[in-house]
Amino acid sequence: MNLHLDIAVDLGTFDLAVALGAAGGAVTAVLGPNGAGKSTLLRCIAGSLAIDRGTISLGGRVLDAPPTTFVRPEHRAIGVVHQDHLLFPHLSALDNVAFGLRSRGVRRAAARDGARELLDRLGVGSVASSPPTELSGGQAQRVALARALATEPDALLLDEPLAALDAATRIEVRRDLRRHLAEFAGPAILVTHDPVDALALADEVVVLEAGRVAQRGPIGEVTSEPRSRYVADLIGTNLLVGTADGTSLTTDRGLVVALAEAPRGPVFATIAPAAVALHRREPEGSPRNRWRTTVAHLDRLGDRVRVHAALPVGLVAEITPASAADLALAEGSELWVSVKATEVVAYPR
């Protein structure tokens, strides 16, 4: 059961144009900054928003293909889990899960049996008779997943399913979700802001920016060769965009960077923040890349300090608090930055 879509939607101030395929049994994470169009994409698949052009099909069945075909949301066999679970407040957890089965014509007793079994499977059987207001965030999210799975959907859509949970619950629900997604035979699309969710849960990643696919592929590939500032920021690495001539690369900010081996033409390049060395005086010896700059700002990140060099150098270095103290770094202070040519990893744009 594969999901295929190639769609265009025009919302006036925003337009979405996306093509993607998601295989049965695979989890595809959709990542992207606020306003990139992630929720709009899910609404199109779920059927709460009709597309303007293109097609959406699931298991070969066409769900939306204007102007001829539009399958209503309740006939799409797609389960949806939202960030805020959206359980019916006047129904118990059990009846929330049974509701979907009832609306598909399953008799009351059988629907409640099915719902009870699912709640047990998801580890929330003990709160079956509680109303949503008496559930913790983690319990409510498990009930919401049970409700989505109850009708045996052909595909699952999860819109930031872990975002409303506290840190400890999030880890627990993420682990359970991983297990349930592994058992799910259809395609699952997971919208998330959190690269940890994508790493833990997804097989494939699609990065959306401004309504377009900026990058896609297996998660390891996307993170090892970022092709947008959004992805580079997400994984915390330096991304250079420029043109290479075989020995060096000139960035779009006018910085010339020596390379150990270089493709020619338009390239991206990454430099790990830990590979950016800082010095109070001009470094001696081998580094071919050395620049005099100032500190634009400093961030403390766990047991590391991230030092942002001013433009046009614009690189971020990651050092220990002890080194930051040795270097007497403060915003505006002068420093030298060096990077070995072998630490610059370039790949074609």
Ligand X SMILES: Nc1ncnc2c1ncn2[C@@H]1O[C@H](COP(=O)(O)OP(=O)(O)OP(=O)(O)O)[C@@H](O)[C@H]1O
Q: Give dist(CA 278, CA 83) in Å, integer.
A: 42
CB-nearer residue toward ligand X: 39 or 224: 39
| Peptide bond before residue 218 is cis, with ω within 30 degrees of 0 | no
CB-nearer residue toward ligand X: 2 or 39: 39
In the complex, what is the shortest distance from the CB of residue 202 to ligand X, in angstroms, rounded to a whole number? 16
Q: Give dist(CA 164, CA 140) in Å, integer.
A: 11
Choose which of 12, 67, 89, 285 interacts with ligand X (CB under 6 A): 12
- Residue 88 lies near ligand X (rule: CB under 6 A): no
CB-nearer residue toward ligand X: 128 or 189: 189
> Which region holds residue 38: left if phi is over 0, alpha if psi is between -120 and 50, else beta?
alpha
> How far is CA 116 from each of CA 125, 130, 156, rounded to the nearest angstrom?
7, 13, 20
Shortest CA distance to 140 belongs to which of 89, 77, 98?
A: 89
- Residue 37 lies near ligand X (rule: CB under 6 A): yes
In the complex, what is the shortest distance from the CB of residue 344 to ligand X, in angstroms, rounded to a whole number? 32
Cα-to-chain-centroid distance, residue 337? 32
Choices 27-35, 71-79, 267-275, 327-335; region in contact with ligand X by CB under 6 A: 27-35
- Do residues 190 and 26 make contact, with C-beta atoms less than 8 angstroms apart? no
Q: What single letter denotes the amino acid at residue 284?
A: E
SS3 345: strand
Choices 12-20, 249-257, 271-279, 283-291; region in contact with ligand X by CB under 6 A: 12-20
- Residue 161 lies near ligand X (rule: CB under 6 A): no
Handedness of CA 335, 340, 343, 349 (dihedral sign): positive
> How far is CA 55 from each of CA 52, 64, 74, rounded to the nearest angstrom?
9, 6, 18
- Residue 36 lies near ligand X (rule: CB under 6 A): yes
- Residue 40 lies near ligand X (rule: CB under 6 A): yes
Task: For residue 115, count CB atoms less than 10 angstroms from its CB and return exposed for 0-12, middle for 13-18, buried for 19 or more.
Answer: buried
In the complex, what is the shortest distance from the CB of residue 11 to ligand X, in angstroms, rounded to a whole number? 4
- Do residues 273 and 317 make contact, with C-beta atoms less than 8 angstroms apart? yes
Q: Where in 215-254 is the site for ligand X (CB under 6 A)? A: none
CB-nearer residue toward ligand X: 41 or 313: 41
Choose which of 2, 39, 224, 323 interacts with ligand X (CB under 6 A): 39
- Residue 11 lies near ligand X (rule: CB under 6 A): yes
Task: Count CB atoms within 10 A of the CB of residue 99.
Answer: 18
In the complex, what is the shortest distance from the CB of residue 193 to ligand X, in angstroms, rounded to a whole number? 6
- Residue 83 lies near ligand X (rule: CB under 6 A): no
In the complex, what is the shortest distance from the CB of residue 151 to ligand X, in angstroms, rounded to a whole number? 25
- Residue 38 lies near ligand X (rule: CB under 6 A): yes
Half-sphere exposure of 310 (CA within 13 A, CB side): 12
Choices 32-40, 89-97, 264-272, 279-287; region in contact with ligand X by CB under 6 A: 32-40
CB-nearer residue toward ligand X: 14 or 88: 14
Total residues interacting with ligand X, rule: CB under 6 A: 12
Binding site residues, ligand X, CB under 6 A: 11-14, 32, 34-40
